[in-house]
Amino acid sequence: MDMPAMFDLTGRVAVVTGGNGGIGRGIALGLAGAGASVAIFGRNEEKNRKVLAELEAIGARALALKVDVTDRAGLEPAMEKVERELGGVGILVNNAGIVVVSGGVLNEKAEDWDRVIETQLTAGFLLAKIAAGSMVRRKTGGKIINIASMMSYFGSGLVPSYSSAKGAIVQLTKSMAIELAPHNIQVNAIAPGWIETEMTAPVHAMPLHDEIILRTPAGRFGEPEEMAGTAVFLASHASDFVTGETVRVDGGFAIR
């Protein structure tokens, strides 16, 4: 297979949760640019429409669905709608996430813990279960990409639920990779560093911002679009012998 063909996603169908902004939007546009048909799941219909228009401007077949990934009953119908309208899903990107800055376990409310774990971890498990089940039935193989974090490696006294969920994502990725490899389904994760998104915007007004810049050899926050190349690699035939890995895209933050 020649090099361009290895990364070509033409004819593939991808679902990106939280695809209407930030890292999810960057990945969705990257997959579409590589030829994939892309469905985005998001709770905000206005943001969904904007990203749908961007996907269609690229020339991609695209779909935007109002989906709250914590609504367990709504996940399977949403995936079925994608398969009816775009075709069998061969790429799933579990990106949707929230953070609660509680200040630590002594302050965090149990309901906030539950909400973060449900959004970051449980929804990814359930969607992977649905997507992988379809891939196995169709005998097509496929790719599942989970979005981890620097907090998968480093603890945080400010966001214990977020850190716990992101750490668990790495182990879930490994576990699914072992189980699904015989079905030619590769499961990997991307661990972004500090990226310019709505979620990280408040950090710019905190002393933490300067600490991040000093620690990051690249000397800056990343852009959401800089996640796209790694996502395309992990979604393509170029990564067919890569599974169970977590790829850091962090400007060198984890080196120090």
Domains in the chain (CATH in brackets) are: 3-248 (3.40.50.720)
Q: pTM for this one?
A: 0.96
Grade residue 157 by pLDDT with cuts at 50, 70 and 90. confident
Residue 82 to residue 56: CA distance in whole angstroms: 16
Q: Tell me if 162 sits within 8 A of 156, measured CB to CB.
A: yes
Query: 8 by DSSP, 3-state: which?
Result: coil
Assess whether pLDDT exceeds 80 at residue 1.
no
The residue assigned the tokens 């000093």 is: 214
Q: What pLDDT score does 10 carry?
A: 97
Q: What pLDDT score does 2 carry?
A: 82
Q: Quick one: average pLDDT of 167-194? A: 98
Q: Which residues pair with 14 in a beta bridge?
A: 38, 91
Q: Which amino acid is at 44?
A: N
DSSP H or E stretch at residue 129: helix 123-138
For the question of residue 162 being annotated catalytic, the response is yes
Q: Quick one: average pLDDT of 172-193? A: 98
CA 111 to chain centre: 24
Among the listed residues 16, 63, 148, 162, the single catalytic one is 162
Query: 19 by DSSP, 3-state: which?
Result: coil
Angle of helix 45-58 relative to helix 22-33, nearest 10 degrees, comes to 20
Grade residue 206 by pLDDT with cuts at 50, 70 and 90. confident
Alpha-carbon separation of residue 241 from 42, 146, 160, 182, 237 (angstroms): 31, 17, 34, 12, 9
Q: What pLDDT score does 213 carry?
A: 96
Q: What pLDDT score does 101 carry?
A: 87
Burial readout 102-119 (b: 16 or more C-beta within 10 A, e: otherwise) = beeeeebeeebbeebbbb
pLDDT digits (tens, 9 = 90+) for 99-128: 988 888 999 999 999 999 999 999 999 999
Grade residue 4 by pLDDT with cuts at 50, 70 and 90. confident
Q: Tell me if 14 sits within 8 A of 90, measured CB to CB.
A: yes
* Residue 91 vs residue 2, higher pLDDT: 91
Q: What pLDDT score does 155 carry?
A: 81
Give which of 26, 32, 17 is closest to 127, Cα–Cα: 17
Q: Which of 158-162, 206-210, 231-235 has the highest mean pLDDT?
A: 231-235
Cβ-proximal residues to 130 (8 Å cutoff; 6+ apart), any chain: 75, 76, 79
Grade residue 246 by pLDDT with cuts at 50, 70 and 90. very high
Mean pLDDT, the chain, as a whole number?
96
